[in-house]
């Protein structure tokens, strides 16, 4: 009897242990970096700088004064993209993200492909300097001067293809990009803005008071018309600093750009670690600055500075595509280890594409800062609308191409009360459908 009882207990324990082990199986892991195409190492041609040093800020050309905001870093690859010359990528960092190690992953990715990278440290350095650096026009002027000085260096002038210069940016650097032409910045072939922040209003009030003071911001709408090169804008749905509405403002402020396109991506929590779409995705490291300071600046309150698949598959890929002469990007965000595709990067605004336009406010956002989202034909529940920057129960006006039909649903997944529209509506209040839409069909 005792033996039978012992066997029963052991058997039950085995079953329970096995069940728990099965139930606690590790979650899927994120995709790895791509092996081919944009964002991959397929076009790497060197592993060192021209002076023989490793691709690192310690071996890069370094001139200027950090405290004065005039410091600048220049990375020259040992093997140049074009053999004897190389295109140049200017990288405008985010506010207070003043050291290149914060973007070391992307810088190294570019240099290994044979591109020259110029990183102007345009913010005033030092603890007190950053607290008092509250004029973006001054920041922009310092960036322009530093880049000009870098291009005049003999080591750069003899190697740089002066007719093939690109401007990549993150956060605050995106707003500086909007003023680049009017500030006399060197002519660029294209601009790639990653999570561009053109207003500090979304930054928590206590952080604005502590770090920003009365920031004089570059007036993006007034300077945008001077930009005539192609522009690629990338944002994250969960970015609380560079919100979708800011990206819409940028798109509306570029009437003369040769081309312009806005992409958005959402957080995907299918596996662990999750793939976030917050403000700091384009950064790869804390650098030498205390992580908590940068976390506060980004409004997150935790460290999000890491290199992951989204860096390679979204941000590196977008810059690579622009450097390859592409004005639009086909993104592949990859698959989790269990084969499930990561939620896609979506094209949410392209003026060359015919589509329905959704507006957060009446009168098609006239005089307001509401978001605008473009939809081509298809069915969109909240899962499809969210990655495009649409917020539930916020639609107030809509433009519809001739011959198209749009069905609005009050509930998600095409349920609830519906309203069919075949023409523009400047304000959905009049038809009782303002701020209630949760899913949409476009035919």
* First CA to last CA distance, the chain: 73
Sheet holding 372-375, edge to edge: 372-375, 356-359, 397-399
CA-nearest of 170, 104, 100 to 306 is: 104
CA-nearest of 89, 321, 280 to 171 is: 280
Lowest mean pLDDT among 8-22, 352-366, 421-435: 8-22
Task: Supply the pLDDT for residue 22.
Answer: 46
Instruction: Please compute the mean of the pLDDT values over residues 392-402 and round it to a whole number.
Output: 95
pLDDT band of 83, cuts 50, 70, 90: very high
Lowest mean pLDDT among 7-11, 192-196, 319-323, 353-357: 7-11
Q: Which pTM value belongs to this model?
A: 0.87
- H or E element, residue 92: strand 86-92
Render pLDDT for 349-358 as a digit per residue (tens, 0 to 9).
Answer: 888 889 999 9
Task: Supply the pLDDT for residue 150.
Answer: 98
Neighbours of 221 (CB within 10 A): 13
Render pLDDT for 24-68 as a digit per residue (tens, 0 to 9).
Answer: 689 999 999 999 999 999 999 999 999 999 999 999 999 999 999
Q: Which residue has the tokens 């922009």?
A: 140
Average pLDDT, the chain: 88
CA-nearest of 152, 103, 97, 148 to 125 is: 97
Task: Supply the pLDDT for residue 127.
Answer: 67
Task: Say how far apart CA 48 and CA 58 lie, in whole Å.
Answer: 12
Task: Supply the pLDDT for residue 204.
Answer: 58
Task: Say how far apart CA 95 and CA 208 lie, in whole Å.
Answer: 12
Q: Which range is most confident: 106-110, 209-213, 307-311? A: 106-110
Render pLDDT for 251-302 as a digit per residue (tens, 0 to 9).
Answer: 889 999 999 999 999 999 999 999 999 888 999 876 655 555 555 555 544 4
CA distances from 433 to 236, 369, 411, 425, 441 (A): 27, 21, 12, 11, 15
Q: Which residue has the tokens 């804390």?
A: 286
Percentage of the chain modeled with pLDDT above 90: 70
Render pLDDT for 109-155 as a digit per residue (tens, 0 to 9).
Answer: 999 999 999 999 999 987 677 778 889 999 999 999 999 999 999 99
**Contacts for 104-109 with beta carbons within 8 Å, 24 or more apart?**
104/56, 104/57, 104/284, 104/285, 104/287, 105/284, 105/285, 105/307, 105/311, 105/316, 106/168, 106/282, 106/284, 106/311, 106/315, 106/316, 106/319, 107/55, 107/75, 108/55, 109/39, 109/41, 109/312, 109/316
CATH numbers and ranges of domains, the chain: 41-323 (3.40.50.1820), 354-442 (2.60.20.10)
Q: Is the pLDDT of residue 96 over 50?
A: yes
Render pLDDT for 163-180 as a digit per residue (tens, 0 to 9).
Answer: 999 999 999 999 999 999
Task: Say how far apart CA 152 and CA 343 lie, in whole Å.
Answer: 44
Sign, CA dihedral 282-284-287-290, equals positive
């Amino acid at each position: 009897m005792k033996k039978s009882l012992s066997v029963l207990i052991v058997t039950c324990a085995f079953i329970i242990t096995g069940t728990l082990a099965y139930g606690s199986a590790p979650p899927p892991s994120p995709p790895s970096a791509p092996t081919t195409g944009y964002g991959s190492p397929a076009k790497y041609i060197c592993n060192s700088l021209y002076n023989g040093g490793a691709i690192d800020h310690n071996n890069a050309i370094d001139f200027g004064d950090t405290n004065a905001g005039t410091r600048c870093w220049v990375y020259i690859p040992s093997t140049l993209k074009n053999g004897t010359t190389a295109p140049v990528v200017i990288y405008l960092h985010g506010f207070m993200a003043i050291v290149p190690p914060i973007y070391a992953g992307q810088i190294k990715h570019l240099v290994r492909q044979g591109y020259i990278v110029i990183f102007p440290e345009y913010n005033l350095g030092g603890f007190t300097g950053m607290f008092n650096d509250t004029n973006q026009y001054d920041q922009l002027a310092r960036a322009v001067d530093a880049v000009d000085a870098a291009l005049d260096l003999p080591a750069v002038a003899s190697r740089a293809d002066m007719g093939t210069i690109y401007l990549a940016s993150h956060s605050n650097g995106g707003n500086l990009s909007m003023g680049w032409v009017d500030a006399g910045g060197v002519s660029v072939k294209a601009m790639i803005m990653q999570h561009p922040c053109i207003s500090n209003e979304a930054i928590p009030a206590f952080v604005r008071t502590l770090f920003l003071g009365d920031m004089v911001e570059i007036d993006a709408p007034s300077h945008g018309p001077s930009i005539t090169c192609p522009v690629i804008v990338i944002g994250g749905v969960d970015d609380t600093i560079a919100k979708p509405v800011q990206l819409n403002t940028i798109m509306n402020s570029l009437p003369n750009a040769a081309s312009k396109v806005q992409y958005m991506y959402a957080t995907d929590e299918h596996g662990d670690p999750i793939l976030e779409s917050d403000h700091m995705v384009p950064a790869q490291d804390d650098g030498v600055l205390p992580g908590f300071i940068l976390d506060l600046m980004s409004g997150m309150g935790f460290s999000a500075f890491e290199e992951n698949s989204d860096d390679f598959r979204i941000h590196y890929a977008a810059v690579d595509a622009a450097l390859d002469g592409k004005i639009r990007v086909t993104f592949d965000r990859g698959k989790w280890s269990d084969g499930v595709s990561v939620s896609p990067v979506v094209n949410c605004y392209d003026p060359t594409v015919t589509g329905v336009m959704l507006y957060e406010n009446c009168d098609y956002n006239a005089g307001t800062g509401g978001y605008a989202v473009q939809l081509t034909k298809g069915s969109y529940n909240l899962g499809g609308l969210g990655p495009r920057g649409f917020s539930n129960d916020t639609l107030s006006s809509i433009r519809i191409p001739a011959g198209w039909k749009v069905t609005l649903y009050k509930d998600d997944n095409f349920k609830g009360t519906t309203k069919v529209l075949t023409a523009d509506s400047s304000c959905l209040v009049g038809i009782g459908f303002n701020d209630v839409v949760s899913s949409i069909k476009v035919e």
